[in-house]
Amino acid sequence: MQIRPAAALTGALIGMSALFLPTAAAQADGHPHHHTVTVAHRGASGYAPENTLAAVDAADDLGIDWVENDVQRTKDGELIVMHDTTLSRTTNVEEVFPDRAPWNISDFTLDEIEKLDAGSWFGADFQGETVPTLEEYMDRVSDNHQKLLLELKSPELYPGIERQTLRELRREGWLDHRHKRRLIVQSFNAEAMRTVHRLRPDVKTGFLGTPAVADLPEYAEFSDQINPSYKTIDADYVAAVRAVDGAHGKPLEVYTWTVNDGPSAVSVAGMGVNGIITNKPDVVRDALDDAS
């Protein structure tokens, strides 16, 4: 699907106006009310190095309670938080280990990865920031009373990472009944998500991508969300997704990414998405509040 044509955009904006009409409750308490969740993508990665504890804290400082991350596995089997499958872009690995090209995460032990600077590439203020383990990351999210949209990144590279991640989540208490509302697990890999749902059918799950409408019932067998790039959706697609019940019998939700400006956020909210994943969560949150 291509970017929405102008006519569709106009329709979406009209729909948006209706969606964001202030409710009586909003007028009574003076606060805007809308139900679109803002998720800090790789943490508040517009303001701090992605997928670090600093990015989690930056989201918290902005009052954002949902953070998204990416989980992969080291050579010695430890779960860490990083987006790329190589260490090059977001650490100084090429300086520290010049002879270890192509610097795949899976070729480095945790001890080696913990020697890397994962902050300086973003800015001098973040020098010394490290690559967090999933455990460290979850601890910080918990300490901040935040919620986690956890992506299994490239799970096809890491056999068994679904079970391992669920085990670690359980050990950290994230699968306890009272905490489950604070967690969604997602992936671009449908088989990985099918596995997560089979192993822990109680966990809320999302499929990353834009499946054909005809295929949605198949994805709904193991997903509660369909999470597409905002460049691939229009109001009709969002409505088609919402019309299908997900794995827990509720309408499939849509969390779209990566929306970094206010007008685009208001536009996709008008299409009826449930969540917006963004590097600049304050920009999105404020735009949605202003439009409500």
Q: Give the footprint of Ca ion on this chain (CB under 5 A).
A: 70, 151
Answer yes or no whether residue 207 interacts with ligand G3P by CB under 6 A: no
Amino acid at site 61: D
- Contact of 188 with 215, CB cutoff 8 Å: no
Nearer to ligand G3P, 66 or 97 (CB): 66
Range 90-149, binding ligand G3P (CB under 6 A): none
Answer yes or no whether residue 254 interacts with ligand G3P by CB under 6 A: no
Q: From the CB of 23, what's the least distance to ligand G3P, in Å?
A: 29
Exactly one of 83, 145, 177, 179 is catalytic; which is it? 83
Answer yes or no whether residue 204 interacts with ligand G3P by CB under 6 A: no
For residue 209, which of 192, 232, 193 has the smallest C-alpha distance?
232
- Contact of 281 with 59, CB cutoff 8 Å: yes
Q: From the CB of 219, what's the least distance to ligand G3P, in Å?
A: 16
Which residue sits closest to ligand G3P, CB atoms considered? 257
Cis peptide before 258 (omega within 30 of 0): yes
Q: How many CB atoms lie within 10 A of CB 136?
A: 15
Q: From the CB of 103, what's the least distance to Ca ion, in Å?
A: 20
Q: How many residues bind ligand G3P (CB under 6 A)?
A: 8
Q: From the CB of 117, what's the least distance to ligand G3P, in Å?
A: 22
Answer yes or no whether residue 253 interacts with ligand G3P by CB under 6 A: no
Angle (CA) 67 68 69, round 5°: 125
Q: From the CB of 267, what's the least distance to Ca ion, in Å?
A: 22
In the chain, the N- to C-terminal Cα span, in Å, equals: 29
Range 72-91, binding ligand G3P (CB under 6 A): 83
Answer yes or no whether residue 257 interacts with ligand G3P by CB under 6 A: yes
Q: How many CB atoms lie within 10 A of CB 31?
A: 11
CA dist., res. 278 & res. 265, Å (int) = 9
Answer yes or no whether residue 41 interacts with ligand G3P by CB under 6 A: yes
CA dist., res. 233 & res. 241, Å (int) = 11
Nearer to Ca ion, 148 or 268 (CB): 148
Partner from Ca ion, ligand G3P, none contacting 60, C-beta within 5 to 8 A by type: none
Point out which residues pair with 276 in neighbouring strands. 38, 256
What are 133-136's contacts with CB under 8 Å, separation 24+? 133/78, 133/79, 133/80, 133/81, 134/71, 134/79, 134/80, 134/81, 134/165, 134/168, 135/79, 135/168, 135/172, 136/53
Answer yes or no whether residue 277 interacts with ligand G3P by CB under 6 A: yes
Answer yes or no whether residue 57 interacts with ligand G3P by CB under 6 A: no
Q: From the CB of 240, what's the least distance to Ca ion, in Å?
A: 24
Partner from Ca ion, ligand G3P, none contacting 129, C-beta within 5 to 8 A by type: none
41 is annotated as an active-site residue = yes
- Contact of 195 with 222, CB cutoff 8 Å: no
* 261-to-88, 265, 278, 284, 291 alpha-carbon distances in Å: 28, 6, 9, 6, 13
248 is annotated as an active-site residue = no
Which residue sits closest to Ca ion, CB atoms considered? 151
Catalytic residues, by residue number, are 41, 83
> Given the rule CB under 6 A, which residues bind ligand G3P?
41, 68, 70, 83, 151, 208, 257, 277
